[in-house]
Amino acid sequence: MIKLIKSIFFIIVFSLILTAQERITISAVGDLMVHSTQFKYAQVDKDSFDFNPVFKYVKPIFDKSDFVIGNLETVVAGSKYGYSGYPLFNTPIDFLDGLMFAGFDYVSFANNHSLDKGLQGLINSLRNLREKGIHYSGANIDENEKDSLKIYEINNIKFAILSYSYGSNLNPLTDRNDFHFNFIDKNEIKTEIKKYRDAGTDLIIMFYHFGNEYQRKPSPYQVDIVNASLEFGADVIIGAHPHVPQPIEIKHSSKSNIDSVLVAYSLGNFISNQRWRYSDGGPIVNLTVEKDNSTNKLKLVSVDVIPTWVFKGNTENGSEYIIFPSQLSSKDFEIDYFSKSDYSEMSISFNDIKEIMIPQESKIVKLYWPYKSNFSEISFKSFEIVTPQRDFSKELTYEQESKFIHNFSNGIY
């Protein structure tokens, strides 16, 4: 009788396990860029840099997630290549320590700057990522890595991130089919998605580098690649490259393993020295997915959007870049080292991200305030919002934006 009771007990427990619903939350951000001013601000010794302070206010957000991903839009090839910003990036390897401090688990390495220091620069970067324990996809050290499956598992949910780029600015590869770099190719994408699905992957995330720079609406090419990916069975589609936010959409596909497919055409910049409107901030997007173990089907539970803005200026610690959750602009607060323009530009950035990215009719996608308490070093009181010195309220034409960006890059502004 005791054995029978034990058997029934274990059967019930096992059944409950099978029917239980597992969840995972993934934080996604856009471009992780390091212009020369950024690594100069972070320098603490001849060849030593501290990027940790950049991420000190977003680290608590990432700490609550199961997996954190972003687009590493710079090479980390080593000091012998010389550190440089735009147009040929090579960032101190210490930046990877900053990403680790922040909580990044993975970076996409398929973008137009991946080959800025040639093929060996790409390979060195991947080796440095491996050494730091940061996962990546989109580029490969060798053919074996290209052919291998990178599947992660958290809370009984198996997921993979497939990364592809429209191209590279410098391309020493003689063949677009070279295994070192993932160019966007519909046939390859279809094959890879099927391969991962056949291997038992529950959630397939596509991380694309595509679109027109500084344009806040997706291009026909982006829409075409997204639609093809839906047809191939992608479950989440994330974009980077435009350096500005683009809309979030919720799609549905019978080929996907999830009830609702998140499409974020561009997450914009997460950290950079691009100080103009729309490029000086970008969102953290927290997507929570639930798995029904009885069917292995997924449900998109929520998409929480946390707008952020990059501060650049002098603090009690010297010259710094710091990422702030820009929803602070809707609250009464004061930071000692903020100028009135800082408050205003943060507010503009917050409203831009909210208006561009969050669909009004969606019940899944919403703004999210991640903090239950205030920052310890911030004293809260009312402040006056003023217009920044440069009037960003007027829409610029594409030609005007391009001219401004060119002049800014060459030190005119």
Per-residue pLDDT reduced to its tens digit, 101-142: 999 999 999 999 999 999 999 999 999 999 999 999 999 999
Identify the three-state secondary structure at position 127.
helix
**pLDDT tens string 295-304:** 999 999 999 9
Q: Which of 377, 389, 338, 357 is nearest to 238 (CA)?
A: 357
pLDDT band at 143 (very low <50, low <70, confident <90, very high): very high
* pLDDT winner (highest mean) among 19-23, 228-232, 382-386, 389-393: 228-232
End-to-end CA distance of the chain: 84
Stretch 346-366: mean pLDDT, rounded? Answer: 94
**C-alpha distances in angstroms, 211 versus 249, 265, 315?**
16, 8, 36
Q: What are phi and psi of 316, to 5 degrees?
A: -65, -15
Domains in the chain and their CATH numbers? 22-307 (3.60.21.10)
Q: Are 114 and 181 in contact (CB under 8 A)?
A: yes
Maximum CA pair distance of the chain?
86
pLDDT at 22 over 80: yes
Tokens of 236: 């989440």
Distance CA 339, CA 246 (A): 28
| Whole-prediction pTM | 0.87
For residue 170, pLDDT over 70 is answered with yes
Percent of the chain's residues with pLDDT above 90: 78
Question: Which residue did the predictor score with more confidence, 404 or 296?
Answer: 296
Helix residue spans in 215-309 (DSSP H): 220-232
Helices (H), 133-168: 143-147
Q: Specify the DSSP class assigned to residue 213.
A: T
Give the pLDDT confidence score for residue 329 in this predicted structure.
Answer: 82
pLDDT computed for residue 8 by the predictor: 53
CB 113 within 8 Å of CB 71: no
Q: How confident is the model at residue 18 (pLDDT cuts 50, 70, 90)?
A: very low
- How far is Cα 143 from Cα 337, in angstroms, rounded to an integer? 50
The residues, ordered by sequence, that sit 6+ positions from 283 with a Cβ below 8 Å of its Cβ are 29, 30, 245, 267, 268, 305, 306, 307, 308, 353, 357
